[in-house]
Amino acid sequence: MVPAVAGNGIVNMSWRSLLSERTLLLNVTFQPLSIISVRRAVLLVLAGKAETLNCSDEVLRSESLEIQVPSVVRLNYYVRAPFRNRAPLHRKALFARDFYLCQYCGERADCIDHVLPVSKGGRNTWENMVACCRPCNAAKADLLLENSRFKLRRAPYAPQPLAVAVAMKADVPLDWECYLPAALTLTA
């Protein structure tokens, strides 16, 4: 939703779009758990289940309450989050991992290639799929890398699940960076 400009020049976001903004949720140990909506973060804070660590400049107002919009919240208790060692594989995440560049020639990627073709037993896994351009995909066809003129610029790998979530939510707020591990990138 596009913010509306009031007559005084102040930009006003509707409360619906403000509540759907995102907030980083941390465990009591400051470990990033997930990205949640502002609405969910406010409910956790009001219920006493979380504390606000960083706020944005926006303010939510009701008849009896005024609360700054949280950007980062930390739970007051430990949550044993299910350990997910592999990020879910999908097209958008794969392109983000490969920076939308062909892994054979370096041009802009617009399709996906199986390093070991499906016809030769290749699977749909992070380690077997790369972003590529149409000319390279057509030229490689269902050949093995050894039998083609192509060489991978970078070995494919499975990124961390939270790295994929952050990458999918483009433009990470600056106040999140100190809570996200430096190793939390889509690069190998």
Could you tell me the residue ranges of all domains in the chain? 4-79, 82-171
For residue 170, what pLDDT is reported? 61
Q: What percent of the chain shows pLDDT beyond 90?
A: 55
Q: Which residues contact 113 (CB under 8 A, 6 or more apart)?
A: 103, 104, 129, 130, 131, 132, 136, 137, 140
Torsion of CA 150, 155, 158, 159, to 10 degrees: -120
State mean pLDDT over 149-158. Answer: 94
Global confidence as pTM: 0.59
For residue 9, what pLDDT is reported? 39
Q: What percent of the chain shows pLDDT beyond 70?
A: 82
How many whole angstroms separate alpha carbon 144 and alpha carbon 161? 29
Residue 157 has pLDDT above 80, yes or no: yes
State mean pLDDT over 54-81. Answer: 91
For residue 15, what pLDDT is reported? 58
State mean pLDDT over 31-47. Answer: 92
State mean pLDDT over 37-41. Answer: 93
Q: Which residues contact 28 (CB under 8 A, 6 or more apart)?
A: 74, 75, 76, 77, 78, 79
Per-residue confidence band for 1, with pLDDT thresholds at 50, 70 and 90: very low
Which pLDDT tens digit goes with each residue over 85-142?
778 888 988 998 898 999 999 999 999 999 999 999 999 999 999 999 999 999 999 9
State mean pLDDT over 58-65. Answer: 89
Residue 2 has pLDDT above 50, yes or no: no
For residue 16, what pLDDT is reported? 63
